[in-house]
A = this chain, B = another copy of it.
């Protein structure tokens, strides 16, 4: 079973989930626009954090699929579950944008966002570790050091998101800040170390 259609399907869902985020932005048309555009700053922040997060996961998926030589039906099914979580991201993003400023709803919004990204990170690990264990689905010529490097760096994701999610139980605002910080950290790290 070739991997190119899985890549096409995955790229489609990554691209659509990221683009659908824009539908979360809305203004109240009955008041002057200038004030509205300042009021909804959390919507811009949530849009940027989720778009960049999806972009980073897409780039990492790119790295994973580059090491994968072929796929089996189990890998396909885990991919569908993983993509189901990617496509879910626009929903908790809207909740975070609209409810982080409401005392009675901020915790639920930060938890919903964190749980979604924690599950995404966990399933991404399942996907990779299934392919890499015993080099079952890897290319013949996959470099063992690259494989080990991916395994090490992927272990960080779920732990970071579990911490940020648990933080939402006491400090929803700091939890939300941590989701942003994770995205900024990745972009900054790529800016410094990701040049040829």
Q: A33–B108 contact, CB under 8 A?
A: yes
Number of interface residues of A (CB under 8 A): 73
Provide the residues of chain B in CB contact with A11, threshold 8 Å: 5, 8-9, 12
Q: A74–B194 contact, CB under 8 A?
A: yes
Kindly state the separation between the CA atoms of A37 and B95 in the bound complex, as whole angstroms: 10
Nearest-Cβ distance from residue A129 to partner chain B, whole angstroms:
13
Q: B52–A80 contact, CB under 8 A?
A: yes
Nearest-Cβ distance from residue A71 to partner chain B, whole angstroms:
9
Closest to A55 in B: B80
Provide the residues of chain B in CB contact with A91, threshold 8 Å: 22, 25
Provide the residues of chain B in CB contact with A5, threshold 8 Å: 7, 11, 62, 65
Q: Does A139 contact B (CB under 8 A)?
A: no
Query: How many copies of the chain does the oligomer comprise?
Result: 4
Provide the residues of chain B in CB contact with A34, threshold 8 Å: 104-105, 107-108
Q: Does A17 contact B (CB under 8 A)?
A: yes
Q: B17–A19 contact, CB under 8 A?
A: yes
B-facing residues in A20-68 (Cβ within 8 Å): 20-23, 25, 27, 29, 32-34, 36-37, 47-48, 51-52, 55-56, 58-59, 62-63, 65-66
A interface, CB within 8 angstroms of B: 1-2, 5-9, 11-23, 25, 27, 29, 32-34, 36-37, 47-48, 51-52, 55-56, 58-59, 62-63, 65-66, 72-74, 76-77, 80-81, 83-84, 87-88, 90-91, 95, 98-99, 102, 104-105, 107-109, 112, 136-137, 186-187, 190-191, 193-196
Closest 8 CB pairs of A and B: A73-B194, A12-B15, A55-B80, A33-B105, A33-B108, A16-B19, A34-B108, A74-B194
